[in-house]
């Protein structure tokens, strides 16, 4: 399955691929949070018969997930890329720049899966480094993703400015400001060129601070289009 990140992809974030039927009406893809899944996530991918393409994410603890920072996590993500219905894998920028990913990016692309290279900051918005971080993510990934935590409205404005600057480049970008102050960025960032919006199908199973549920986010984005 393919995903075209040149236009907005609404991804339903979930640790359970059984949520896919409930997401079909509004989502363009399912982000499978492998690190949050109960049971074997590779077995879940093997059993998957949904209609939506999958973005496979196996997030480390240091960037908001529950996966241990070890080679097993990356091996699992590498195997996930081999499934036909996995259209993209998400790998952290620090893992790539530290050379810890091995051949993951090459392996994913060889299996027709795109690479989302991401950076998450759960403490603040590094305004002076937004362009640097987004630029480096774009350098390595087929999509460059940056999620920060807004402490005030100025942080959101800075992120939107960086998004608008990079959206005209060759590599699509995905940006969002986490937390309540930045919550509205999940709705308006696509207007500035962000190409992925994330939302849980079940509002009780949010995978990041400040997420709208899928139905609400889809409705709000549609109203602004």
pLDDT the model gives residue 123: 94
Does residue 137 carry a pLDDT above 90?
yes
The pair of three-digit structure tokens given for residue 58, joined into one six-digit string: 């196996």
Task: Return the closest-CA partner of residue 13 out of 68, 69, 76, 65.
Answer: 65
What pLDDT score does 190 carry?
97
| pLDDT, tens digit (0-9, with 9 covering 90-100), for 17-32 | 999 999 999 999 999 9
pLDDT at 120: 95
Mean of the pLDDT values across residues 179-205?
Answer: 92
Choosing from 69, 119, 120, 184, the catalytic residue is 120
pLDDT band at 111 (very low <50, low <70, confident <90, very high): very high
Is 124 one of the catalytic residues?
no
Asked whether residue 1 is assigned to any structural domain, the reply reads no
Q: Cα(114)–Cα(106) distance, rounded to whole angstroms?
A: 10
Residue 103 falls inside a structural domain: yes
Q: What is the CATH number of the domain that holds 46?
A: 3.20.20.70
Tell me the pLDDT of the chain averaged across its residues. Answer: 93
120 catalytic residue (yes or no): yes
pLDDT grade for 118, boundaries at 50, 70 and 90: very high
Task: Say what the pLDDT of residue 63 is.
Answer: 84
Is residue 102 in a domain? yes
The domain of 131 spans 9-224
The total number of structural domains that make up the chain: 1
Catalytic residue among 107, 145, 161, 184: 145
User: Does a structural domain hold residue 3?
Assistant: no
Contacts 24+ apart (CB under 8 A), 130-137: 130/158, 130/159, 130/162, 131/162, 131/165, 131/166, 133/93, 134/162, 134/163, 134/166, 134/173, 134/175, 135/166, 136/93, 136/97, 137/93, 137/173
> Taking residues 65-74, what's their average pLDDT?
81
């Amino acid at each position: 399955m393919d995903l075209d990140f040149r236009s907005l992809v609404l991804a339903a974030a979930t640790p359970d691929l059984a949520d896919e039927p409930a997401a079909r009406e509004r989502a363009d893809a399912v982000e499978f949070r492998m690190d949050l899944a109960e049971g074997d996530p590779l077995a879940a991918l093997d059993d998957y018969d949904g209609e939506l393409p999958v973005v496979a994410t196996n997030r480390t603890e240091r960037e908001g997930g529950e996966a241990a920072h070890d080679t097993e996590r990356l091996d699992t993500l590498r195997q996930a890329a081999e499934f036909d219905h996995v259209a993209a894998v998400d790998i952290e920028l620090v893992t790539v720049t530290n050379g810890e990913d091995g051949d993951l990016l090459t392996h994913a692309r060889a299996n027709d899966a795109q690479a989302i290279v991401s950076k998450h900051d759960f403490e603040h918005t590094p305004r002076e480094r937004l362009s640097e971080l987004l630029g480096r993510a774009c350098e390595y990934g087929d999509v460059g993703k940056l999620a920060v935590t807004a402490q005030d409205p100025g942080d959101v404005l800075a992120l939107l400015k960086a998004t608008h600057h990079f959206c005209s480049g060759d590599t699509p970008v995905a940006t969002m400001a986490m937390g309540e102050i930045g919550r509205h960025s999940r709705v308006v960032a696509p207007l500035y060129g962000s190409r992925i919006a994330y939302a849980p199908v079940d509002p009780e199973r949010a995978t990041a601070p400040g997420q709208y549920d899928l139905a609400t986010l889809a409705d709000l984005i549609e109203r602004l289009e």
